[in-house]
Every structure is written in structure tokens, then in C-alpha cells.
Amino acid sequence: MSLTTTMTELEQLLALEQIRNTKARYCRYIDTKAWDELGDVFAPDAVADFSTEGNPIPVLTGRDTIVQVFRDLVDPAVTVHHVHSAEVEFVSDTEAKVISPMEDWVTFPEGNENKSFHGFGHYHETFVKIDGQWCIQHTSLKRLRLDLFE
């Protein structure tokens, strides 16, 4: 479960649940359009790379930028994000590498310039512990399948 950590097994299990809860909140905040809360899941200098083929989101740097781009892009859409069975590897007491299988449905209203889609893939992420909270430091999405809809 870990590389170079002094965390006990119990501490690692608690951290694992905190990491999973952070990612669950990420999904819920996007889907419920809780933009003010979405920033809480990211480190201040976080990086988000969702620049896969067909995705209009560029590489984003900084918590405020990430939240603003999400707000601007998907606020008019109905979104459903699911993550499953995260693999977590603790690099240290304050850093973890996480891979989570994912599925997302994003449906834009008629007339929106963006295409609706249903996708599958994996989030590849680095989480860091800041002031006792596990936050997303870096996230990228590697898609396995992306179905676009008119």
C-alpha cells in the first residue's frame, strides 16, 4: 500500500477513506453545480489535464481557474460522474498516487456549442495532505471510450 511512509496501517486506511471521500465530493459538487465547494477538493496550485481528444477543456493550473472553467463549461449541462474502486499508493505520509475507473455522462442543452457525451476511462491523480485534508494536486483523465451525441 505504500512506498516510503511512516503511517500505520490504520492511518493508511483512514487516509484511503479520506481520499475516496474527496473524490466522491468532486463528482457530487460538479453534478450538483456546487461551484463554491468544488474548490475545497483541490490544492491551491492544482493542475487538471482533461485535454483528451474531443474534450474542450485545456490543461488548467490553479484551483480558482479549474473551478471557473468547470463553471463556465458545464453549468448549463446535466452531468453524472461516477468513480469506482480507487487504487491508492502512498508515496509518503502526505502524498498518494491514485487511479480511479470512471464513467461520465454530460448532456448539453439543445443549441449549446458543445457536444453531449458518454465516456469511460481512468483518473490518474496525485493527492496531497494539506492542513489535515487530502486534496487533489494533479488530475488527468485517460479515456478508454468516448461516445459523442448531437
Cell of 37: 465547494
Helix (H) or strand (E) holding 25: helix 9-31
Rounded to 5 degrees, φ, ψ at 139 are -135, 140
Q: Domains (ranges, CATH) in the chain?
A: 9-148 (3.10.450.50)
Cell of 70: 468547470
Q: Report the alpha-carbon distance of residue 135 to residue 150 in Å, rounded.
A: 35
**Per residue of the chain (150 residues), what is the pLDDT tens digit?**
546 789 999 999 999 999 999 999 999 999 999 999 999 999 999 999 987 766 667 889 999 999 999 999 899 999 999 999 999 999 999 999 999 999 999 999 999 998 899 999 999 999 999 999 999 999 999 999 999 987
pTM of the model: 0.92
Beta bridge partners of 89: 97
